[in-house]
Structure 1
Amino acid sequence: MKRKIVVVIFILAAFVTSASGQKYKVNAQNTALNQVLIGLRDKYNFHLSFNDNALAQYQVSVSGSFDTPEELFGALLKSIPFNYRKRGNVFLILPEEKKPGAPKAFSLSGQVLEAITHEPLPYSNVLINDQGLATDLKGSFRYISSTDSIFHIRISHLGHYILDTICVPGNNYRFILTPSSIGLKEIVVANKVVEKATQIGDAPGVMRLNHQIVQFLPGNDDNSVFNLLRLQPGVLAAGEQSNGLIIWGSYEGNSQVLFDGFTLWGLKNFNDNISAVNPLVVKDVQVLKGGYDARYGERVGGIINIAGKNGSTYKPGLNLALNNVTANGMLEVPLSKKSSILLAFRQTYYNLYNTDDVVYTGTTTAPTGGQGMEPVGGQGQNSINVNIRPDYTFHDANIRFSTRSDGGDLFYVSLLGGEDQFKYTLNQANTQLDISKSTQEDNRQLGGAIYYGKNWNKGNTSSMTIEYSSLDNNVRSDYQNRFGKGRGLASWSNSNTDNQVSQFSFKNTNRFAVSKQHTMETGFGLIADQVKLVNDTTQINLSSQKADLQRLNFYAQDHIALPGNIQLKGGFRFDLPFEQQKLFIQPRISASIPVNQSVKFNAAWGIFNQFISKSTVIDALGNYQYLWFGSDGTDVPVLKATHYVSGWSLHGKSFLASLEGYYKNIEGLTQFRTDPETGVQTHIHGKGRSYGIDLFLKKDFHGHSIWLSYSLGKAEEKFLTTEYQRAPQDQRHELKLAGIIHLKPFYLSANYIYGSGFPLYTDPTDPGSYTEPDYQRTDVSVTYRFSSSKIRGELAFSILNLFNNYNIKYSSFETVPLDDTSTLKINTESVPFSPRLSVRLAL
């Protein structure tokens, strides 16, 4: 036994002697230091961190054998202004520190750019020495430290490879991120990680969307932004509201879509064909569902903040997107190494739908005989359901000039104009009825912004924006009903609604890094809103308004960054309407607290005001219209909402989970109602509330992505009732499933959406007088990528509503009386079974 112990001791001693006797050899003659270190890393499995570009400038000549890694690195760095530090098992190769004579602050400022086009990357995530911050619209940031003179930086942006590097203090750094795809061409960067997941849970109520994946989703190319939005938690998909977005149970008009700083009021966008923003010009999409900070105002719901592309400065580019509905093109022309102009245009080929394509549906319970239309029963009132597929035409254009300076300043002029027309004519007769009805809606939208963003010497930033946007909406409707054998005129009506809204503003923003922990953000603005409304029927003026509203606003908030990437924000927003001479104070607070490297807790609270909004106009038949009104403080009060938001998120290497809850109440709601007996219109005031939870799960694997989104919510309102009743946009459940499978060169994608339905009231004053049809839709697509030396492209085929489920669009139906016992219900049909063939080319 003793002999065995002695043998084991000798074996262990020999092993230790062998291990301790390992030599580290190097033989370098006038070789770049970065190449020497890479060779040693691969040979001896060293863990190294260094600035590759900085060390490439130094040539070293070292030969020999060394007993320890410390001796080896000491010899390599002996004659150059670098040294090493060891943290754990990682060797950091750092520039020599010059000890200051007196304590001072170390600052770092820079700009995050895309590698190919050098487009600034707005709202990128920057982690410096475990403290987080975000870039501004120009991709700029600044960081101050009183202790650290070496900065470990990790920068990520959706759809781009993560940059991990080390820097010394300095200003005007340029950090270049490589996109995971360039136009329609894929690239692969070895040993790099791509930030490709949807960013949910980094801040309370905030989502960042990877717009690069929208081309693989089913649907029309011209509506790809909303195709992605509708699959996210908290954004209503059932009802197919592409432009009047409903977020977290908010009312139509309570949420805002911003493009390059100006408001997109929204076009008709029939059947998900075209969204208000051209997807070819989109660079970044940020969704603020609620509880957002003091920089944002003007709405009590959510905000979709879309940043447009600057345009290529290195070579001309042409992108074309053609499908069986529209043609879309974008041209980028460099004017210099720092300036470019971008042009984009969309146009429908023809009227999308035939006015003669009218479908009559319904379950007949009290047939009257005859051909064509049949009344359907319903509690003493027969109704004839008519589904309309109207004519729809559209075109719009974008123009943008951009230029930037060597210091990162950005100047651009962005212009947008678009218009559409929606109309149908219904002529139908049977043995008893002869109905004639025509409706036409015209929309014209204009917008523009002039922006200048300045990076100051020490990395602080300021910007100013002058913007203008407007929408002119006109709806005309004529109706005649001839009844009986003599075909006498039983009833007739005509109505006209002209609603115009515009906004002009000047806004200033500033961001100053005060210390390592504190960044102050301030801003002010002058806003002028104008609303014009004429709403009449059968030559009777039901409602009208002409409002010119001006106000000043100011905000200030402190962004506190604590160790461990804890983010706190607290601030105020102030609005002073000139007409009301009342100061509206809106405090906001939020916190993001990482529990560990994967789990984060978020919470936010705030008060929000809105000074122009859509109010509900209900006619004598119970038909709803949502029209823009200016808040004068009396007939139409200023909306006031309070948001409570909290949630948890789990971020893994290829998995994301988020659970977020919200509660919002709103005061100052206005309804205009016409009495069915007297025909007199009155206005009433009410309040509402919405609350619920969002669940989001996403998994990335082997180039594929699947995700699930589930929303449980409730939206209620109280006008003439003593208790809350369901609001028109209330929906209890919404489930969304989506996936993208990459089988190179093919992409397969599918999504499914289920909504439990909205309350369709027959009597707005009766909480129980509604039906609740559910919503179901399945979309599928296949995309093929191809490329040659001169052209790259994609060929895509989609089917929308694969199983042709019958769905009703939110707020898109009319009720027309036929006689004392029958009514005509006209529904604008949602997306039917719709094949879509698309070709996308990049030259």
Structure 2
Amino acid sequence: MGFMLSKKNRSFLKPVLFLLVLIIGICSGITAQKYQVDCHKQPLNKVLVELRNRYQLQFSFDDAGVANHLLTLQSSFSTEEALADALVKDFPLAWERMGDVIVLFPFHKETKSTNSIISGRIMELGSNEALPYTHLSVNGHNTTTDINGHFVYKTNSDAFVHLKASHLGCFILDTLLAPSKDHIIHLRPKSLALPELIVSNNRIHNTIQMGSEPGTILLNSHIAKYMPGNGDNSIFNLLRLQPGILAAGEQPNDLIIWGSNEGTSRVKLDGFTIWGLRNFNDNISVINPFITKNIEVLKGGYDASNTDVTGGIVDITAKTGNNSKVGADLFLNNHTINSMFQIPLSHKSTFILAYRQTFYELFEPDDLLRRSADSYEYKIHVEPKYDFRDFNAKYTLTGNNGDLFFISLLAGGDQFSYNAKQERPYNTIHQNVVEKNRQGGGTAHYGKLWKDGQRTDFKLSYSMLKSDFKEKRSLQNNRFNRLFSRVDDQYINHVNELSFELSNRVSFHPNHRLEFGVEAMRNEVFLYRDSFDVVLSRQNLQHFIVTGFIQDEISIGQKFTMKPGIRINRHMPNKAFYYSPRLSLGIDVSHLLKFNLAGGLYRQFLVKSSVMDENGNYRYWWTISDSKYIPALKSEHLTTGLILDNNAFSASIEGYYKSTAGLTRFIVYRLNQEKIFVGQSRSYGVNFFAKKNFSRHSVWASYSLSLTEELFPYFPEQTYRRSPHDQRHEIKSTGMFDFDPFNFSYSIVHGSGFPLYQSYLRDNYIEKDYNRIDVSLVYKKQLGMFNSETGISVVNLFNSENIKYSSFERIPLAQQNTAYIDAESVPFTVYLFLKLGF
């Protein structure tokens, strides 16, 4: 049976078929755009530029390398691939497509080997300082350099790779690298001591970087010197302004990070622990800013390679020094002096030496005295005294093959004391407090880079703290001239930590990296307490712990990263195993937006117990978990965040939850009776952060909403109540403005305050807001061979009266009257400073 069209139908189909052919032709023309080339002996670089402008194509090539290739070609091409083949056919060139970019490079003959290793070192232009933990994107895969600025990338081909490097304070570098193991790559810092140098039209990471890992902040130590406050404390000035780190209540020797309890966070310098001196964060700190290079803050949810603590970690890397020239820095203000010298011993080795000390009293009598809720009638006379000094030294030796050896040392000490006296009609109250601290530590580190790209690090670290606290209080009868002792207490606490760590990092594939290691740690603690020369407690404690960890970093494509890991502790004294599994996830939602999620278990065996006396004063001492009276701390972390980074603007929101079990607290009753209690705490909250860079300026702000609660058996009501360091709201804002040669900066902090409990048996408290505004102005000038900076910094501009967490001493004057001796509140203070360097 056939099918026939009538004459009428055939005449109708003709225009329809013609229309279909026309549509197909138009669509073919759209989908197969022709690229026309018509040139005769023209330099290839000019041809590429012309094609780019005419057809909106994207090419990447070495301009000087292709300029000598003269192209003669007259043809049209329907695809970009065909065009690229024709352009390089007659020359020793090859091409690859990377996303939308056609990359032209010198022809590289293929070999049978499909595995290539690309490695190198990222350094700072001018100072030749290694740039540790620089963020790299290699062919779209994210990684970081090690402590010596080295990186290794294993690829399955011998082709060029696309490298993008970013480090805080430096301009971003975007380049191509050939397979090689000896790349030396310099990043240009924002401020370079060459007045004729002008850099424009480039992006810079100049202050803070967030979101590379869950709960992580990377800070640029270069900008710390322009922050308001004492330059000798610029590192802590910078830390306290970050979201999640309490500005209104940091201890002189501790940081409160995401509601962490006293002693659960760690500050490390080149691998050894900084226990902290009295040192008064707002005046002078145990970290010398002259030797600081890189600051990484791990607020929570960190991976299995990190040390055993249940709070946060601040990991500080010291400078390696300039191996090309001698350098020196001198800083002088109206309280302290700071100096640093760096000497190249060879083109591979350097030596750095730094020294600081106070030469003028940091405190005036009125600085220490704070009134209680019930004002007192009679004046209290206070005589404070504070001395501080410390010393840093570092020797660094770098090998051509990427090996690194260094020895980093620290020694420091301080002494704080005050005499307080209040004269009343019938008697006089005397209070004398003396606190001495000595701290030392060091690390010997050797990192080996193997030929296959594997890296092994050996680290031997030692640190110690010796703390001695004495308190005397007496009542003098003015009528009969008799003296009655009320308090005569002494606390001695010594801590020693010795550790050896071996870690390995192996790259099997661009999408697969494995890290594993083992650590042996020995701690010793000496505790001593007496009252009226009667020994109440004397203990010599020690333990030995062996720890192993392993974690796998797996990337699925260029969008999803997963890092499972586990940390296993073997506690030798009680022969017990502790398992701490951890997991983090990262998703690049887009090139601007990243999502992070992390959680796990965390342990801590060297812990700080709190001691509360009958007046409500807190003391803290280091002790060792014995799994009987002092349990090991166990904490659960969960954190999630969303980070937006759009060139000059970045923002983030992070939520967290922490629960910690095994907290210990000694309650001292009257007649020197005491009892130990074991409790728990929980903390949760959310941090908002936004930062804007414009021109040479930067402004950022953060808001923290949090709740930290604790529960101990001695509470009258067995329900959670606010921890002494709990603060509901904290708002911080900072601005840094570079009007070369002037730099102006400000910082604003408002906190809703901490609960000041009247008694350990009562849950009623008073709460006072915290407010402080600081400003700074710096002038930079080149004086011959010297780089000079002079400036003024005003702390607590409006002289707000603030009470910080656990920073005061309660002195009972009567049944209804108490005075606070507050040794850390900072009144209106002006710092004038001068810095010289070459």
- With structure 1 as the length reference, what TM-score do the two structures score? 0.90
Out of 288, 291, 306, which is 1:281 matched to?
291
Matched, 1:840 2:835: yes
Change (3 A) 1:616 1:221: same
Q: How does 1:285-300 map to 2 (within 5 A)?
A: 285-300=295-310
More displaced stretch, 65-74 vs 528-537: 65-74
Q: How does 1:98-113 map to 2 (within 5 A)?
A: 98-101=109-112, 104-113=114-123
Matched, 1:518 2:512: yes
Matched, 1:329 2:339: yes
Partner of 1:92: 103
Once residues 673 and 163 of structure 1 are traced to their aligned partners in structure 2, the CA distance between those partners, rounded to angstroms, is 58
Once residues 365 and 499 of structure 1 are traced to their aligned partners in structure 2, the CA distance between those partners, rounded to angstroms, is 35
User: What are the Cα deviations for residues 674-724 of structure 1, in whole angstroms up to 9, with x where unaligned?
Assistant: 122x43111111111111011101111111111111111111111123111
Give 1:48 shift.
5.7
Partner of 1:604: 598
Partner SS, residue 297 of structure 2: strand
Q: How does 1:488-503 map to 2 (within 5 A)?
A: 488-503=482-497
Q: Look up the equivalent residue of 2:831 and give its one-letter code.
A: R
Partner of 1:376: none
Out of 665, 668, 672, which is 1:679 matched to?
672
Matched, 1:800 2:795: yes
Give 1:72 shift.
9.4
User: What are the Cα deviations for residues 256-291 of structure 1, in whole angstroms up to 9, with x where unaligned?
Assistant: 000011000001112611111100111100000000
Kept after mapping to 2: 8 A contact 1:286/1:306: yes
Change (3 A) 1:332 1:186: farther
Partner of 1:697: 690
Change (3 A) 1:663 1:192: same
Give 1:132 shift.
1.1
Once residues 558 and 815 of structure 2 are traced to their aligned partners in structure 1, the CA distance between those partners, rounded to angstroms, is 71
Once residues 444 and 482 of structure 1 are traced to their aligned partners in structure 2, the CA distance between those partners, rounded to angstroms, is 34
Matched, 1:727 2:735: no
Once residues 581 and 153 of structure 1 are traced to their aligned partners in structure 2, the CA distance between those partners, rounded to angstroms, is 48
Change (3 A) 1:328 1:39: farther
Q: Look up the equivalent residue of 1:60 and give its one-letter code.
A: N
Give 1:830 shift.
0.6
Kept after mapping to 2: 8 A contact 1:181/1:187: no
Once residues 788 and 396 of structure 1 are traced to their aligned partners in structure 2, the CA distance between those partners, rounded to angstroms, is 29
Q: How does 1:132-531 map to 2 (within 5 A)?
A: 132-146=142-156, 149-182=159-192, 187-270=197-280, 272-354=282-364, 359=369, 361=371, 372-373=378-379, 390-483=384-477, 485-531=479-525
Partner of 1:533: 527
Q: Look up the equivalent residue of 1:682 and give its one-letter code.
A: K
Partner SS, residue 181 of structure 2: strand
Partner of 2:812: 817
Give 1:254 shift.
0.4
Give 1:63 shift.
6.7
The alignment of Structure 1 onto Structure 2 pairs a total of residues equal to 801
Partner of 2:10: none
Partner SS, residue 213 of structure 2: coil
Partner of 1:7: none
Once residues 271 and 59 of structure 2 are traced to their aligned partners in structure 1, the CA distance between those partners, rounded to angstroms, is 40
Matched, 1:761 2:754: no
Give 1:49 shift.
4.8
Once residues 753 and 499 of structure 2 are traced to their aligned partners in structure 1, the CA distance between those partners, rounded to angstroms, is 39
Matched, 1:749 2:749: no
Change (3 A) 1:387 1:693: farther
Identity across the alignment (%)? 38
Once residues 656 and 41 of structure 2 are traced to their aligned partners in structure 1, the CA distance between those partners, rounded to angstroms, is 61
Once residues 387 and 630 of structure 1 are traced to their aligned partners in structure 2, the CA distance between those partners, rounded to angstroms, is 40
Change (3 A) 1:471 1:811: same
Out of 607, 613, 623, which is 2:617 matched to?
623
Once residues 41 and 215 of structure 1 are traced to their aligned partners in structure 2, the CA distance between those partners, rounded to angstroms, is 48
Partner of 2:19: none
Partner of 2:12: none
Change (3 A) 1:758 1:192: same
Once residues 187 and 537 of structure 1 are traced to their aligned partners in structure 2, the CA distance between those partners, rounded to angstroms, is 66
Q: Look up the equivalent residue of 2:684 and give its one-letter code.
A: Y
Change (3 A) 1:387 1:152: farther
Change (3 A) 1:542 1:809: farther
Once residues 678 and 373 of structure 2 are traced to their aligned partners in structure 1, the CA distance between those partners, rounded to angstroms, is 38
Once residues 447 and 195 of structure 2 are traced to their aligned partners in structure 1, the CA distance between those partners, rounded to angstroms, is 32
Partner of 1:777: 772
Once residues 88 and 774 of structure 1 are traced to their aligned partners in structure 2, the CA distance between those partners, rounded to angstroms, is 54
Change (3 A) 1:290 1:571: same
Change (3 A) 1:821 1:477: same
More displaced stretch, 822-831 vs 297-306: 822-831
Kept after mapping to 2: 8 A contact 1:672/1:684: yes
Give 1:60 shift.
2.5
Out of 137, 141, 157, which is 1:131 matched to?
141
Out of 69, 78, 81, which is 2:92 matched to?
81
Give 1:561 shift.
1.8
Once residues 557 and 207 of structure 2 are traced to their aligned partners in structure 1, the CA distance between those partners, rounded to angstroms, is 25
More displaced stretch, 41-50 vs 786-795: 41-50
Once residues 234 and 727 of structure 1 are traced to their aligned partners in structure 2, the CA distance between those partners, rounded to angstroms, is 16
Once residues 340 and 532 of structure 2 are traced to their aligned partners in structure 1, the CA distance between those partners, rounded to angstroms, is 46
Give 1:302 shift.
0.2
Once residues 476 and 769 of structure 2 are traced to their aligned partners in structure 1, the CA distance between those partners, rounded to angstroms, is 35
Partner SS, residue 223 of structure 1: helix
Q: Look up the equivalent residue of 1:62 and give its one-letter code.
A: L
Partner SS, residue 808 of structure 1: coil
Change (3 A) 1:789 1:25: farther
Give 1:392 shift.
1.1
Give 1:23 shift.
4.8
Once residues 725 and 99 of structure 1 are traced to their aligned partners in structure 2, the CA distance between those partners, rounded to angstroms, is 69
Change (3 A) 1:501 1:707: same
Partner SS, residue 514 of structure 1: strand
Kindly indicate whether structure 1 or structure 2 has the higher relative contact order, using CA contacts under 8 Å at least 6 residues apart. 1
Q: Look up the equivalent residue of 2:557 and give its one-letter code.
A: P
Give 1:516 shift.
2.8
Once residues 120 and 562 of structure 1 are traced to their aligned partners in structure 2, the CA distance between those partners, rounded to angstroms, is 31
User: What are the Cα deviations for residues 302-340 of structure 1, in whole angstroms up to 9, with x where unaligned?
Assistant: 000000001110000111111111111111111111111
Give 1:816 shift.
3.1
Partner SS, residue 218 of structure 1: coil
Q: Look up the equivalent residue of 1:734 and give its one-letter code.
A: E
Change (3 A) 1:654 1:387: farther
Give 1:186 shift.
9.2
User: What are the Cα deviations for residues 707-742 of structure 1, in whole angstroms up to 9, with x where unaligned?
Assistant: 111111111111123111111111111110110122
Kept after mapping to 2: 8 A contact 1:525/1:552: yes
More displaced stretch, 292-301 vs 532-541: 532-541
User: What are the Cα deviations for residues 350-400 of structure 1, in whole angstroms up to 9, with x where unaligned?
Assistant: 332356876464576786xxxx33xxxxxxxxxxxx696721111111111
User: What are the Cα deviations for residues 617-654 of structure 1, in whole angstroms up to 9, with x where unaligned?
Assistant: 11122211011111111111111101011111111111
Kept after mapping to 2: 8 A contact 1:556/1:571: yes
Once residues 100 and 630 of structure 2 are traced to their aligned partners in structure 1, the CA distance between those partners, rounded to angstroms, is 67
Q: Look up the equivalent residue of 1:142 and give its one-letter code.
A: V
Kept after mapping to 2: 8 A contact 1:498/1:533: yes
Q: Which runs of 5+ in 2 are unaligned?
A: 1-29
Q: Look up the equivalent residue of 1:600 and give its one-letter code.
A: K
- With structure 2 as the length reference, what TM-score do the two structures score? 0.90
Partner SS, residue 740 of structure 1: strand
Change (3 A) 1:567 1:789: farther
Q: Which runs of 5+ in 1 are unaligned?
A: 1-15, 374-385
